[in-house]
Structure 1
Amino acid sequence: MKLLKDILYGVSLAAVSGDTNVMVNHLHFDSRKVEMDDVFVAIKGLITDGHKYIQTAINQGAKAIVCEKLPEILVNGVTYLEVDNGNKALAIMASNFYENPSKNLKLVGVTGTNGKTTVSSLLYSLFKKAGYKVGLISTIKIMVDEKEYPTTHTTPDVMTINWHLHLMNQEGVEFCFMEVSSHGIHQKRAEGLHFEGAIFTNLSHDHLDYHKTFAEYRDTKKELFDGLSRTAFALTNFDDKNGMVMLQNTKARKYTYALKSFADYRAQILENQINGQLLKIDDNELWSKLIGDFNAYNLLAIYATADILGLEKLEILRLISELENVDGRFQYFISKEKITAIVDYAHTPDALKNVLITINALRTGNENVITVVGCGGDRDKSKRPVMGHIASEMSNQAIFTSDNPRTESPEVIIEEMEAGVEPQNIKKILAIENRKQAIKTACKLASANDIILVAGKGHENYQETNGKRIDFDDFKEVKAALNSLNK
């Protein structure tokens, strides 16, 4: 058990009713999990308001309630604490509850529209190869050194984050690399964490269903850098027009990286092939299995971060040359018919464009590019026609299909994608709602040396429709479809 007032350290309290000098068991923001002598934090969410479940939590034995508005009737023996922001209070309390685990390791946050998963995952791999005990909190998984835990959000809830950081402390983890999404920042999930540094990859059209305006989306990302201490570092992509915005108010040590501009860390692409690229970093050449300009930026961010954190430069370059593609990030397979299939998480206009630019740059002349792509339901609708335009303009054949339709009609989503297709490209598109069938069709249309891009879901091993998830893995599906052509 822990003393309530210790868990509340650093929380700004507007009102207190009851005793804070009491022992409590656990901390919850889900009333269904509350047990005897627990603390319940009422959070105002997008779907429901935790304040509606305060009495339920008390009935289940809650000893303390943290809320943004005190109930009209206060129960004797229960401590009530009023705060301005429940999310922020929960984050600080979660960190205190697990004894501020982020202070006992070097936590580096990675934010940006694209590249977060690749940069954080490959930093984890690089530091593991360098012999360190390392942690990872990413879209794909959470790693506590060698042990893997599943995850469902880019930035998990604050209790999950601090619990795993606590486990990392127990395992002697020295470095942890964490994806930090705009949703996570806005919902204060990064609050109360001590960051050794932060990395900005890039900023483009995404999540405007949540943030409403691009400026709000950008400024939310910027909050991560605004909160850094003087001893931390801030690393930004200088080639991105919003890169320097991230550094405007930060107290941290500032570093930049770029391919096209003068920066603290620079790289040059010397050669690009389907199986990798030759890069020049710090006047040293290295071969990487990761291809494309976007991966050159990712690798440069990794190199810069490792250098800032004290690894030896030549050793970093050697380790980078050993790094493999992250699952669902330009993950490719070449069939016996010499058809190349690429699976990529590209689910934003900018990411899709970057992948197709890379693919088209690899073409030697006669290969066709066939793109299978959809757009997620219950998400930013404004990017759908843009995605449709890019796929049809930059491919020889585009097949519009389902992504994760969620509660929306797949047909309507596809129609909204088709709205972005220009008249001269209409003959290049097919609409096949069933994603499995769309992938099979792409494989049947392909000939030797053609390239199939299956975009949007990447590492995801499910498809979500009307609240149900069915098993579905793009890479397995396209590989099976191509192998079946042999029979």
Structure 2
Amino acid sequence: MIALKDILYKVTINAVIGSTGVQLNAIHFDSRNIKNGCVFVAIKGTLSDGHQFIDRAVEQGAVAVVCESMPEKLKEGVTYVEVDNSSRALAFMASNFYDNPSENLKLVGVTGTNGKTTVASLLYQLFKKAGYKVGLLSTVKIMVDTVEHKATHTTPDSLTINKYLDEMNVAGVEFCFMEVSSHGIHQHRTEGLRFEGGIFTNLTHDHLDYHSTFAEYRDVKKSFFDALPEKAFALVNVDDKNGLVMLQNTKARKYTYALKGYADYKSQILENQFGGLLLKINDSEVWTRLIGNFNAYNILAIYGAAELLGLEKVEVLRLISELESVSGRFQYIISNSKITAIVDYAHTPDALKNVLETINSIRTKNEELITVVGCGGDRDKTKRPKMGHIATVLSTKVIFTSDNPRSEDPETILKEIEKGVEPQNFKKTLTISDRAQAIKTACQMAQPNDIILIAGKGHETYQEIKGIRSDFDDFKIVQEFLNQLNK
């Protein structure tokens, strides 16, 4: 049990009705989880407003309510706290409730459009190989040292973040690497956390269904760096024009990385093939099993962060050479008939372009490059024709298919993707709404030495159609179809 007043530290309070000495056993922002002795935090979400459920929470046993506007009916014996922003209040309350667990480990946030999962996951892998106890909060999974938990969001809600950070404290975790999404920053999920460092990968076209403009999207990312403390480091990709923007107002120590321009951490690609990359980082060469220009950037970010966190340069290079690719990020298999199938999470125009350009830089051009791609429903529609254009320009054959249509009509999404295809490229395309059938068709079309790229879903093991999630794993499905062809 903990007193309400003890978890309100740093919360901006407008008014209090009742006693803040009331004892609590849990915090919840979902009224369905409320039991006797809980505090209910009413949050105005994108789909529903928690203020509508205050009465229900009180009926179920909430002894305190935190809200942005006081309800008309107040129940005697219940404490009501009015705050400026409930999401921000929740973040501080969660951190205080779990005794500020981020202060007991070195927490590093990774933000940007592409590369967040790869950088965070590879840093986790590298520090594990270096012998440390490590945590990971990512799109793919949550790791409390060696214990794996399922991830539901890129950046979980602040209660979940602090709960797992607390578990990491108990497990003796020294370092934690965390994906920080623009949604997470905008919704104050990372408030109240103490970061040891922040990494910026890049900024490209994404999430404009949520952020009204690109400038707003950029400024939300920037606010993460603005909030870093003086002792933290800010490591940014300055080949991206927004890299220096991230550093403009930060109090943190500033560091840069780049493949093209001048930077503190500089890399050059010496070899690029399906077996991996040979890189020259500053003055040292290192071989990595990861593939492509975009992974050269990721490796450079990992190298810089590891050194800034105190690892020796020689050890970092050795560990980089042992790293394995992240699930659904340029994950590939080669069949017995010499067909290469690549599964990648590329779901933005820039990410798709990077993956296709990487494949084209490696292949001999004597083989076909067959791309299977779609776009998610209920998300930024403006990127759909761009994805169609990029796929057809950089592939020899393209199959447009469903991604996660969600509540939208799959055929409508496909028509919007097709709008980006130039007339001379229509002959390259097929449209097959059923994703499994599209992958099967790509496998049947492929000849020995051909390359199939299945883009958009990567690590996801489901497909969401009309609000229903069904099991669907791109990697397993292409593996099965290729195995059938080998028989």
Which stretches in structure 2 are left out of the alignment for 5+ residues?
none
Partner Cα separation in structure 2 for residue 258 and residue 67 of structure 1: 45
Partner Cα separation in structure 1 for residue 451 and residue 457 of structure 2: 18
Partner Cα separation in structure 2 for residue 466 and residue 45 of structure 1: 22
Scaled by the length of structure 1, the TM-score of the pair is 1.00
Q: Which residue of 2 aligns with 1:298?
A: 298
Alpha-carbon deviation of 1:365?
2.6
Q: Which amino acid is 1:267 matched to? A: S
Partner Cα separation in structure 1 for residue 73 and residue 58 of structure 2: 12
Partner Cα separation in structure 1 for residue 12 and residue 284 of structure 2: 51
Alpha-carbon deviation of 1:285?
1.0
The secondary structure found in structure 2 opposite 1:229 is coil
CA RMSD in angstroms, aligned pairs only: 0.5
Partner Cα separation in structure 1 for residue 283 and residue 247 of structure 2: 27
Deviation per CA, 1:353-379, whole angstroms, max 9, x where unpaired?
A: 000000000111311100000000000
Partner Cα separation in structure 2 for residue 54 and residue 204 of structure 1: 39
Q: Which residue of 2 aligns with 1:205?
A: 205
Alpha-carbon deviation of 1:282?
2.3
Partner Cα separation in structure 2 for residue 126 and residue 395 of structure 1: 34
Partner Cα separation in structure 1 for residue 293 and residue 394 of structure 2: 17
The secondary structure found in structure 2 opposite 1:89 is helix
Scaled by the length of structure 2, the TM-score of the pair is 1.00
Partner Cα separation in structure 2 for residue 300 and residue 26 of structure 1: 42
Alpha-carbon deviation of 1:212?
1.1
> Does residue 464 of the first structure (1) align with residue 470 of the second (2)?
no
Alignment of 1:208-247 (within 5 A): 208-247=208-247
Partner Cα separation in structure 2 for residue 65 and residue 435 of structure 1: 46
Alignment of 1:112-151 (within 5 A): 112-151=112-151
Q: Which residue of 1 aligns with 2:288?
A: 288
Alignment of 1:426-437 (within 5 A): 426-437=426-437
Alignment of 1:382-461 (within 5 A): 382-461=382-461
Partner Cα separation in structure 1 for residue 87 and residue 63 of structure 2: 19
Q: Which residue of 2 aligns with 1:156?
A: 156
Q: Which residue of 2 aligns with 1:356?
A: 356
Alignment of 1:255-270 (within 5 A): 255-270=255-270
Partner Cα separation in structure 1 for residue 110 and residue 385 of structure 2: 29
Alpha-carbon deviation of 1:226?
0.5
The secondary structure found in structure 2 opposite 1:257 is strand
Q: Which residue of 2 aligns with 1:106?
A: 106
Alpha-carbon deviation of 1:296?
0.1
Partner Cα separation in structure 1 for residue 37 and residue 272 of structure 2: 60
Partner Cα separation in structure 1 for residue 277 and residue 230 of structure 2: 37
> Does residue 313 of the first structure (1) align with residue 313 of the second (2)?
yes
Q: Which residue of 2 aligns with 1:76?
A: 76
Which stretches in structure 1 are left out of the alignment for 5+ residues?
none
Deviation per CA, 1:9-45, whole angstroms, max 9, x where unpaired?
A: 1101011111001211110000010011110000000
Q: Which residue of 2 aligns with 1:344?
A: 344
Partner Cα separation in structure 1 for residue 18 and residue 456 of structure 2: 51
The secondary structure found in structure 2 opposite 1:125 is helix
Q: Which residue of 2 aligns with 1:29?
A: 29
Partner Cα separation in structure 1 for residue 363 and residue 295 of structure 2: 18
The secondary structure found in structure 2 opposite 1:427 is helix
Partner Cα separation in structure 1 for residue 228 and residue 263 of structure 2: 21
Alpha-carbon deviation of 1:275?
1.3
Q: Which amino acid is 2:301 matched to? A: A
Q: Which amino acid is 1:299 matched to? A: I
Alpha-carbon deviation of 1:63?
0.5
Q: Percent identity?
A: 71
Partner Cα separation in structure 1 for residue 182 and residue 38 of structure 2: 30
Alpha-carbon deviation of 1:467?
1.4
Partner Cα separation in structure 2 for residue 240 and residue 163 of structure 1: 34
The secondary structure found in structure 2 opposite 1:256 is strand
The secondary structure found in structure 2 opposite 1:307 is helix
Q: Which residue of 2 aligns with 1:187?
A: 187
Once the two structures are overlaid, the 10-residue window that deviates more, 113-122 or 67-76, is 67-76
Partner Cα separation in structure 2 for residue 220 and residue 214 of structure 1: 10
Partner Cα separation in structure 2 for residue 456 and residue 12 of structure 1: 41
Alpha-carbon deviation of 1:283?
1.4
Q: Which amino acid is 1:442 matched to? A: A
Partner Cα separation in structure 2 for residue 282 and residue 426 of structure 1: 45
Deviation per CA, 1:126-182, whole angstroms, max 9, x where unpaired?
A: 000000000000000000000000011000011110000000000110000000000
Number of aligned residue pairs: 487
Partner Cα separation in structure 2 for residue 470 and residue 132 of structure 1: 37
Partner Cα separation in structure 2 for residue 73 and residue 362 of structure 1: 67
